[in-house]
């Protein structure tokens, strides 16, 4: 299987006190895989995910996104690739403005794909249903939604926009334990549907729910392991 994200010799340095360098010699991320990126605070998790999300430009090294070499793309092509390819869920507001979920997604689809109102509504409702947001919340302003419901809206965007890469930074800490499990279940399903899914997290007890666990330490990959994830909340296959 071809990786959707390929990193070679990527480095980024911040001249603080002490200075910080993220250095990723080699990393490949695959469709169908749910990857956990962990590590202590300040280890470079957000720096890495922002580079992968094309939020920041790689200062040194190479990055390929969906087979395109990012370093050699002009800005507008890079923006197009991001718009068509990546759902980035930032820490905090999850990138959601305070509007009803259907409207947020309709606007996104209109801005990036010129999708009309009726089709936008259909796809928004489809995406939100896939993310198991209760239908009575489809038209409720984001500010009035619970943390778990907001996470579902962010995941619903990924389904509706069909962007094959989904990158979420610290989406889990704001949620209670039960909701956290539900949201990881959803990310598992998203990965099983063929998306490349990467979650920055601080929940060591949830690591066994991921296909792959990458641990950062002081800007470097300390370990990178694959597992058969524990599956929760779905019927077991009958023999």
Q: How far is the CB of 224 from ligand ADP (least distance, A)?
A: 16
List the beta bridge partners of residue 27: 7
Residue 144 is classified by DSSP as G
Q: Is 203 a binder of ligand ADP (CB under 6 A)? A: no
Q: Which residue has the tokens 């490949």?
A: 28
Instruction: Give the pair of three-digit tokens for residue 7.
Output: 């990193």
State the binding string over 3-32 for ligand ADP (x if CB under 6 A, else -): -----------x-x---x------------
Enumerate residues 47-86 that contact ligand ADP by CB under 6 A.
47
Q: How far is the CB of 68 from ligand ADP (least distance, A)?
A: 24
Among 35, 43, 188, 203, binds ligand ADP (CB under 6 A): 43
Cα dist from 111 to 54, 116, 139, 173, 210, whole Å: 18, 10, 20, 31, 33
Q: Which residue has the tokens 């957000």?
A: 46
d(C-alpha 229, C-alpha 156), whole Å: 23
With b for 16 or more beta-carbon neighbours within 10 A and e for fewer, the 218-229 pattern comes to ebebeeeeeeeb
Q: Is 12 a binder of Mg ion (CB under 5 A)? A: no
Cα dist from 151 to 117, 135, 145, whole Å: 24, 15, 10
Q: Choose one: 37-45, 117-125, 145-153, 229-237; the region binding Mg ion (CB under 5 A).
A: 37-45
d(C-alpha 239, C-alpha 231), whole Å: 17
Q: Is 44 a binder of ligand ADP (CB under 6 A)? A: yes
State the binding string over 126-165 for ligand ADP (x if CB under 6 A, else -): ----------------------------------------
CB 24 within 8 Å of CB 10:
yes
In the chain the first and final C-alpha atoms are separated, in Å, by 28
Please, which residue, 161 or 197, has the CB nearer to Mg ion? Answer: 197
Please, which residue, 16 or 235, has the CB nearer to ligand ADP? Answer: 16
Please, which residue, 42 or 134, has the CB nearer to ligand ADP? Answer: 42
Q: Is 203 a binder of Mg ion (CB under 5 A)? A: no
Please, which residue, 165 or 214, has the CB nearer to ligand ADP? Answer: 214
- Compute how many residues bind Mg ion; rule: CB under 5 A: 2
DSSP assignment of 48-59: HHHHHTTSS--S
Among 46, 65, 87, 188, binds Mg ion (CB under 5 A): 46
Q: How far is the CB of 13 from ligand ADP (least distance, A)?
A: 9
d(C-alpha 45, C-alpha 39), whole Å: 7
Binding residues for Mg ion, per CB under 5 A? 45-46
């Amino acid at each position: 299987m071809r990786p959707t994200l390929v990193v070679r010799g990527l480095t980024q340095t911040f001249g603080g006190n002490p200075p910080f360098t993220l250095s990723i010699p080699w990393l490949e991320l695959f469709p169908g895989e749910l990857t956990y990126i962990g590590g202590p605070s300040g280890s470079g998790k957000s720096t890495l995910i922002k580079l992968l999300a094309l939020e920041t430009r790689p200062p040194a090294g190479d990055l390929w996104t969906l087979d395109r070499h990012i370093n050699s793309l002009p800005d507008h092509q890079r923006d197009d690739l991001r718009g068509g390819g990546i759902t980035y869920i930032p820490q905090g507001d999850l990138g959601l403005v305070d509007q009803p979920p259907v409207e947020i997604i309709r606007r996104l689809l209109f801005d990036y794909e010129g999708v009309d109102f009726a089709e936008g509504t259909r796809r928004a409702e489809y995406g939100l249903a896939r993310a198991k947001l209760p239908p009575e919340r489809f038209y409720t302003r984001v500010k009035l939604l619970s943390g778990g419901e907001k996470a579902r809206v962010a995941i619903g965007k990924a389904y509706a926009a069909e962007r094959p890469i989904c990158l979420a930074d610290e989406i889990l800490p704001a949620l209670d334990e039960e909701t956290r499990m539900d949201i990881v279940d959803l990310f598992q399903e998203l990965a099983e549907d063929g998306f490349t899914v990467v979650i920055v997290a601080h929940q060591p007890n949830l690591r066994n729910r991921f296909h792959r666990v990458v641990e950062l330490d002081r800007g470097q990959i300390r370990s990178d392991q694959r597992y058969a994830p524990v599956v929760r909340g779905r019927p077991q296959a009958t023999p």
